[in-house]
Amino acid sequence: MGEGFGQHGFSLIEMAVAIVVLGILAAATALFLRGPIALNTQRQAQVRLMDQAALADLWLERDLAQALPGSFSYSASGAGFLLSFTPRPPATGLVRYLCQPDAANPAQGTLRRNGVIVADHLAACRAMNPQAAAYRAAGGRQQFVTLALVFRAGQARLDMLKGVRVQP
């Protein structure tokens, strides 16, 4: 800086150096924070899936505990299942759980209880029973069904298996 004119301040070169240094610091900070931000986003998606799975499990557990023995019926298709039963009094009506792919997006499905969505972000839902053929061949009905729900949001995935005793 020149002293002859009584100027106070920064020269153009000093200002350019300060801007370059701040740019380097900003780039380093962005690189440093990118990993933790991505990890946080993934963990939030996992927590949302765990919340949905816990809610679905809570509804199923509560309703199944109130079901009348012998009132269960279920049907399975390649892309989903329908589980229905009659609750004990004083409740009335039929409780129906329907898990099926979304018509607009077959990669996403929903679990509905009497038409109300209990869980979404389902990549798959199946009713599995490896002994079903043996029960049918013996003239009986299935005694136990395992419901498999696969939740997916982005890269996060959560698999849930729920055993249901189906009493004839």
Q: Averaged over 121-130, what is the pLDDT?
A: 74
What are the sequence ranges of the domains in the chain? 35-165
The band of 1, judged by pLDDT with boundaries at 50, 70 and 90, is very low
* 114 phi-psi bin (left φ>0, alpha ψ -120 to 50, beta other): left
157 and 123 in contact (C-beta within 8 Å)?
yes
Q: What is the pLDDT of residues 42-66, one digit of tens each?
A: 888 888 888 888 888 888 888 888 8
Question: Can you tell me the distance from the alpha carbon of 111 to that of 79, in angstroms, rounded to the nearest whole number?
Answer: 12
Tell me the whole-structure pTM to 2 decimals.
0.66
Share of the chain above pLDDT 90, in %: 11
- Encoding tokens for residue 62? 């509560």
Q: In whole angstroms, how large is the CA radius of gyration of the chain?
A: 29
| Helix/strand/coil for 37 | helix
